[in-house]
Structure 1
């Protein structure tokens, strides 16, 4: 089974070349399932207009230059040849959202149950057993894709995977232009729909290796993933992979992540099972394999705290045996996934402090990025760590690119550290001009705005320097927080808070409240000059925060949020964080109670038993 599973993974890894969404398609007569049924009054405009009606409309499946319709009686038919423009319908056609565990699966559950019960011998009774070289014979006898379909139309002597594999073998020998022309002829051939139908029938009972060859050939021939044919093959490969998962080796499970990422297929069931097997057998696993797993998780947007913590714990306990560059690569992936493992990051920090010679021009900027983006530094060793890092950058000051110098300085500023030599070098007019003329100008301007905010608001020697003349960034879209606004209106009254407040340095707060300095009483909101706030007024900033602003599965704010909170306090605000996902779960009365405890100080309540969780 390990050999078969390995073959399964190798073949699936080849499926990364997929056809993108097609806007203009040609309509051909495919007659997928009951060719004798034809609708003479078919109107493409009416069907497209009713596309979003999931109850009454037919379900559509794109096949490169073909449009296939599945009606309620499981028949497929298209009449005539015409051209229509298909609107973008990613909601229905996107593979990521077409989960195999969804109720919208193209294969009924009853049929899937029969798939597991059926045996391959059921097919052999009706069809002669093919020899291993049938695909090769077909590809040698035929010169085009249509030739293979012509042979299939005479008498279907072999299983469908032989014809599909032969067609792909022939297509590989063609030029790109010839391949495109041959595919158009293939899709319009009257026997193509019959071959697809046979493939879907045989998928239920096809052996694993033949199923994989069929899936590989179908995708390589240009049939998109969101078609009924490909979805059927994918589902059968999955519900079988899960059934035989106990026979997979550890290596099979490790490579499954890369396979699914290459297919852009987010299968939670398979990923969860593979994660468990990887962690249960992690000892002795090469770090490069673990890095590939995390890279695949990022591509699939698969966040498994059990997997991440298991990998980080293993690397932390075996820290001394790994090359530093591999540990840093691992931490970069963790940072991109929003995962902060304090033990592993503390080990790297200690190594940097104890062995500063381990730092070089390739690893300095990535290390700074990881620690600043995850907001990982403590007072006990923070300054020592930051000074060592600043000294290392200074050594390479005249060998580092302008972009990397900007990245390093921006990371230092986010961690509230301001190395004099580095900032002076960055603020040179020629370097600023180079950054503003770079191909990555928009990103550079964003980082320069962060630098300007830190130099003005934080305690540093550069506060009196003149403002940087920077281009203005486009305004970010504002997302209404209707529920929080409703709760504040119920709790305080509409005239006692302001919504969507813009502040200097491109900072935005969702709601502002004004209170007395003891935060016992809310004051009415009036448009006064806030440049010099009154000493008897406490400004309160309410920030509605998504999960992505925290480290994974924790209440630890990530770098930009932590810096924003620090700067808001410098501006005179008391900061309250409201977690969007938690607020949405609360009933209105519970939401009112929660915000009341956040806004008012403990002295404002008659009893001291209230559990306050306000963020300071």
Structure 2
């Protein structure tokens, strides 16, 4: 056991390439073969500690799981399971977490799970609890996950920085989002933020995404740290961080600005895969550099043009879609895309067909509305898609009736060209001091009439923790502006939480600009 453990400790510190070379030498060495034979013979006579550490070393050295040696050690562990102390249970749990499921492994895991249920109240070590959480996995019953959660929370005051990092992965392995544990781990990470390796930062963000855990303070601290140390990271690392933020719909504004500068200064690192990632990040998070907007777009456009000869149809559509979301038309790529569309090549397969149709529709709408030659139409043909108002808009409808005095003073569920939809439309005089009845404004060519579009949107349409619209909502707002509407975005969740009186006052402030309403009332707040 000591020999195997020492070999494993030396082996794990090698690089992947060295490990492959050394592994072959180890397996071919006559002494290793004799060691394995001796281990097989003495398996049932070994102490509990030697048994689990031998299995751990053998598995991690890469001895195939279907060999007689590994299967024998697994079966003996199963026989001696009740004799294992908490430390041995922890080592065994770590080993099983890295093994493939087979008959013997599954049986041992089931037995270990029963043992954990019995002993969980006696385990006081967070590291051991972490290993057990990883081992029992996502298929464990909820009551056992809750027991493990409570056991960790009892010892949370003794949480160390390394254990805080590990706990994220343990909760992911269990597929269990424990807000109290994650909050405590986040706090510990923020206290030691300068000691986090870059790879661990990505792991944390990916874990938050998997667990659907949103902690704006943690994300902001991590972004500030990467931003302040951007000079020591290469562009691919920053891109990896921004991509992780994009999956969380969190916009690290300053870092996105810095990265945009790096891209314009040296775009050579942008292969096709990286280019598509950058376009997706900036379009979804709706970020455009203030000072170098044109240069940034032209740089990305130039990179895309280089890849046009070998780009796939799906990749071309994604790239064009991202550019269009940002309000930029890459003409050469769009010409190629439309040519492929005319030959029915874009939607020829059924894979993700609905998504492709949606993206292609958006591209075509952008090509028309975002074109420099597009002029605001004298009137827009609208229709009421339904007189029924959804439950989440009833409060808004009642507030508008109370504010405007009559339901004829606004339209609801308005369907526009280009498949755009407006929750409520209001028409006003040119000074926006008087709301005009809908029947009295049928003459849509009257330039003195101002049209307001009220959109009640969920928090998911904004970047996390802000009222900054994501790309698709920003595009819709831009296009409604092009069609002659003044767009009012209302965060519906916050609106629903208002009293009826506050709701009326809020809409009054939005409709009549001389009555401003405090922005804080509708700003998304961090609850962590």
- Pair in the same fold by TM > 0.5: yes
TM-fit CA distance, 1:389: 1.0
Matched, 1:511 2:424: yes
- Does the aligned pair in 2 maintain the 1:257–1:296 contact within 8 Å? yes
Matched, 1:450 2:365: no
Matched, 1:278 2:194: no
TM-fit CA distance, 1:376: 1.1
- What residue in structure 1 maps to residue 339 of structure 2? 428
Q: Deviation per CA, 1:14-65, whole angstroms, max 9, x where unpaired?
A: xxxxxxxxxxxxxxxxxxxxxxxxxxxxxxxxxxxxxxxxxxxxxxxxxxxx
Q: Deviation per CA, 1:350-393, whole angstroms, max 9, x where unpaired?
A: 11222233332221121111111111114531111101110111
- What residue in structure 1 maps to residue 413 of structure 2? 500
- Does the aligned pair in 2 maintain the 1:516–1:538 contact within 8 Å? yes
Matched, 1:256 2:167: yes
Q: How does 1:229-378 map to 2 (within 5 A)?
A: 229-236=144-151, 238-245=152-159, 248=160, 250-378=161-289
- Does the aligned pair in 2 maintain the 1:453–1:505 contact within 8 Å? yes
TM-fit CA distance, 1:568: 0.6
TM-fit CA distance, 1:282: 2.6
Note closer, same or farther for the CA distance 1:143–1:485 as it changes in structure 2 (3 Å cut): same
- Does the aligned pair in 2 maintain the 1:368–1:408 contact within 8 Å? yes
TM-fit CA distance, 1:436: 0.5
Task: Say which SS state the counterpart of residue 517 (structure 1) adopts.
Answer: coil
Note closer, same or farther for the CA distance 1:214–1:411 as it changes in structure 2 (3 Å cut): closer
Distance 1:163 1:338 in 2: 39
Matched, 1:593 2:494: no
Matched, 1:204 2:116: no
Higher relative contact order (CA 8 A, sep 6+): 1
What runs of 5+ residues in structure 1 fail to find an aligned partner?
1-129, 464-476
What runs of 5+ residues in structure 2 fail to find an aligned partner?
1-46, 54-70, 376-388, 523-528
Distance 2:303 2:122 in 1: 62
Q: How does 1:126-205 map to 2 (within 5 A)?
A: 132=49, 200=117, 202-205=119-122
Q: Deviation per CA, 1:58-109, whole angstroms, max 9, x where unpaired?
A: xxxxxxxxxxxxxxxxxxxxxxxxxxxxxxxxxxxxxxxxxxxxxxxxxxxx
RMSD: 4.1
Matched, 1:552 2:464: yes
Distance 1:173 1:327 in 2: 33
Distance 1:269 1:163 in 2: 26
Distance 1:499 1:343 in 2: 39
TM-fit CA distance, 1:216: 6.4
Distance 1:445 1:202 in 2: 55
- What residue in structure 1 maps to residue 301 of structure 2? 390
TM-fit CA distance, 1:404: 1.6
Task: Say which SS state the counterpart of residue 224 (structure 1) adopts.
Answer: coil
TM-fit CA distance, 1:328: 0.7
- What residue in structure 1 maps to residue 141 of structure 2? 225
- Does the aligned pair in 2 maintain the 1:161–1:199 contact within 8 Å? no
- Does the aligned pair in 2 maintain the 1:545–1:578 contact within 8 Å? yes
Distance 1:437 1:242 in 2: 55
Distance 1:389 1:395 in 2: 10
Task: Say which SS state the counterpart of residue 362 (structure 1) adopts.
Answer: helix
- What residue in structure 2 maps to residue 49 of structure 1? none
Note closer, same or farther for the CA distance 1:549–1:260 as it changes in structure 2 (3 Å cut): same
- Does the aligned pair in 1 maintain the 2:134–2:173 contact within 8 Å? no
Distance 2:483 2:92 in 1: 70
Q: Deviation per CA, 1:117-159, whole angstroms, max 9, x where unpaired?
A: xxxxxxxxxxxxx9647989xx9899799x96xx99xxx9888
Distance 2:85 2:176 in 1: 27
TM-fit CA distance, 1:230: 4.5
TM-score (norm 2): 0.72
- Does the aligned pair in 2 maintain the 1:215–1:234 contact within 8 Å? no
Matched, 1:408 2:319: yes
Distance 1:216 1:461 in 2: 59
Note closer, same or farther for the CA distance 1:422–1:529 as it changes in structure 2 (3 Å cut): farther
Q: Deviation per CA, 1:217-274, whole angstroms, max 9, x where unpaired?
A: 7x37x96332x344324422x22440321xx2x3332232222222222122222222
- What residue in structure 2 maps to residue 569 of structure 1? 481
Note closer, same or farther for the CA distance 1:462–1:424 as it changes in structure 2 (3 Å cut): farther
- Does the aligned pair in 1 maintain the 2:93–2:134 contact within 8 Å? no
- What residue in structure 2 maps to residue 15 of structure 1? none
Task: Say which SS state the counterpart of residue 375 (structure 1) adopts.
Answer: coil
What is the aligned length? 442
Distance 1:290 1:355 in 2: 25
Q: How does 1:524-535 map to 2 (within 5 A)?
A: 524-526=437-439, 532-535=444-447
Note closer, same or farther for the CA distance 1:213–1:132 as it changes in structure 2 (3 Å cut): farther
Q: 1:540 aligns with which of 421, 432, 452?
A: 452
Q: Deviation per CA, 1:506-561, whole angstroms, max 9, x where unpaired?
A: 2111111222222222222249878x543332221101022222222222222111
Note closer, same or farther for the CA distance 1:251–1:406 as it changes in structure 2 (3 Å cut): same
- What residue in structure 1 maps to residue 382 of structure 2? none
Note closer, same or farther for the CA distance 1:240–1:497 as it changes in structure 2 (3 Å cut): same
